[in-house]
């Protein structure tokens, strides 16, 4: 990529790169789509980085491209509009990476960040635990210092990407459980370390891309401890604010792509075309369009605030809450429409039905991961509205 590109010049670069480099059949909204396997996704994401479309804001010395979050937004807009595969390393690029940049030492940044962007290392996130639910401060996984190592014992649950991850951004307790927010530490744990057992969990759509991770006396080099032992809670909260507000920034534009795909499929069949012309579906489809524009209207000002050096803070809950609830409503509407197609409705309808059945099933988790709807409402009520708690 030509150095120094920004604004519309950068958008032109993104458009040209995508036109020349997106493999045939990888766009889920196009005829002939074939779901890519893990290695195909890894190769495509590595190519995105090489082409200047990933690691955009990271310093050049750590494998990035040294641009701004405005360019990051531009790339995400164009990636989302094309229905490209979901990132298999978003937890690394958008959660682990920023935390390492924020609290890691120089050696860690040089060692851990370039392989992450080059897709030589995929990351998962070890936060949630059995019994703790959404109460992150209630975690029990323990880290104990043992000479030049830490020893990790505990269990993590719903660990996305763990069946194929190389490292885990792991949160563990170094102090007493009663301390809650104190004595928590972050680690860049190797998933191939002795004592790590990954037990995939089959999801409602048949996939097994997340798992329970059992940790039995797992050795972690002291060099892989991120920040100070008491710095874990603050860093974890920062991770979650990023996850809720800016992780997978392309969601708004991918949502737009999904709506366009649904409309195209419905217009290809006379029965469905008649349905979307009815008053009820006029209203409901218009409401989805409003939802999409609201999400865009949140993302773009957030990017500007971040570009000016402001923190995301609790406002990340607004984005996460609205996107997850709106996307579930859309998935219900999409399946309701497509299920009314007559037999033999055509390839366009069949392809859309396959896409939105998966969207519907996986979407059941969207109001749970990165903090449940109830957690987000609690944050908004407690921290933003300053409402009193019931006694």
Q: Which residues are designated catalytic? A: 243
Q: Are 124 and 168 in contact (CB under 8 A)?
A: yes
Q: Which of 285, 368, 357 is nearest to 324 (CA)?
A: 368
Angstrom CA distances, 232 to 97, 106, 214, stand at 15, 18, 20
CB proximity list for 244: less than 8 A, separation 6 or greater: 312, 316, 317, 319, 320, 370, 371, 376
Strand 184-190, strand 225-226: pairing: antiparallel
Question: Measuring CA to CA, how many Å separate 372 from each of 10, 102, 317, 322, 366?
Answer: 36, 26, 10, 12, 8
d(CA 14, CA 8): 10
């Amino acid at each position: 990529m030509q150095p120094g590109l920004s604004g519309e010049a950068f958008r032109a670069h993104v458009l040209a790169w995508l036109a020349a480099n997106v493999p045939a059949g990888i766009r889920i909204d196009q005829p002939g789509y074939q779901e890519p396997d893990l290695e195909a996704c890894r190769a495509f994401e590595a190519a995105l980085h090489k082409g200047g479309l990933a690691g955009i804001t990271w310093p050049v010395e750590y494998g990035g491209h040294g641009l701004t979050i405005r360019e990051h937004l531009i790339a995400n807009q164009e990636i989302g509009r094309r229905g490209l595969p979901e990132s298999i390393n978003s937890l690394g690029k958008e959660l682990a990476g920023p935390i390492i940049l924020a609290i890691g030492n120089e050696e860690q940044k040089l060692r851990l960040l370039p392989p992450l962007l080059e897709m030589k290392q995929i990351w998962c996130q070890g936060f949630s635990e059995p019994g703790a639910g959404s109460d992150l401060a209630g975690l029990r996984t323990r880290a104990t210092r043992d000479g030049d190592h830490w020893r990790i014992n505990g269990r993590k649950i719903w660990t996305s990407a763990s069946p194929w991850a190389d490292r885990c951004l792991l949160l563990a307790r170094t102090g007493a459980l009663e301390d809650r927010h104190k004595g928590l530490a972050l680690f860049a744990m190797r998933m191939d370390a002795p004592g790590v057992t990954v037990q995939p969990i089959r999801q409602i759509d048949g996939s097994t891309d997340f798992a329970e991770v059992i940790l039995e006396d797992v050795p972690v080099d002291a060099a892989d401890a991120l920040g100070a032992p008491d710095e874990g809670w603050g860093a974890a909260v920062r991770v979650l604010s990023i996850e809720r507000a800016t992780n997978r920034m392309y969601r708004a534009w991918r949502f737009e792509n999904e709506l366009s795909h649904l409309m195209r499929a419905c217009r290809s069949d006379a029965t469905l075309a008649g349905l979307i012309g009815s008053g009820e579906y006029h209203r409901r489809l218009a409401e989805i369009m409003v939802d999409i524009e609201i999400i865009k209207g949140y993302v773009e000002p957030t990017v500007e605030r971040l570009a000016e050096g402001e923190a995301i803070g609790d406002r990340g809950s607004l984005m996460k809450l609205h996107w997850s609830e709106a996307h579930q409503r859309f998935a219900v509407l999409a399946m309701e429409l497509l299920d009314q197609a007559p037999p033999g409705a055509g390839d366009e309808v069949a392809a859309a039905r396959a896409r939105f059945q998966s969207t519907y099933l996986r979407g059941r988790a969207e109001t749970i991961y990165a903090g449940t709807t109830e957690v987000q409402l609690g944050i908004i009520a407690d921290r933003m509205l300053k409402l009193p708690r019931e006694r």
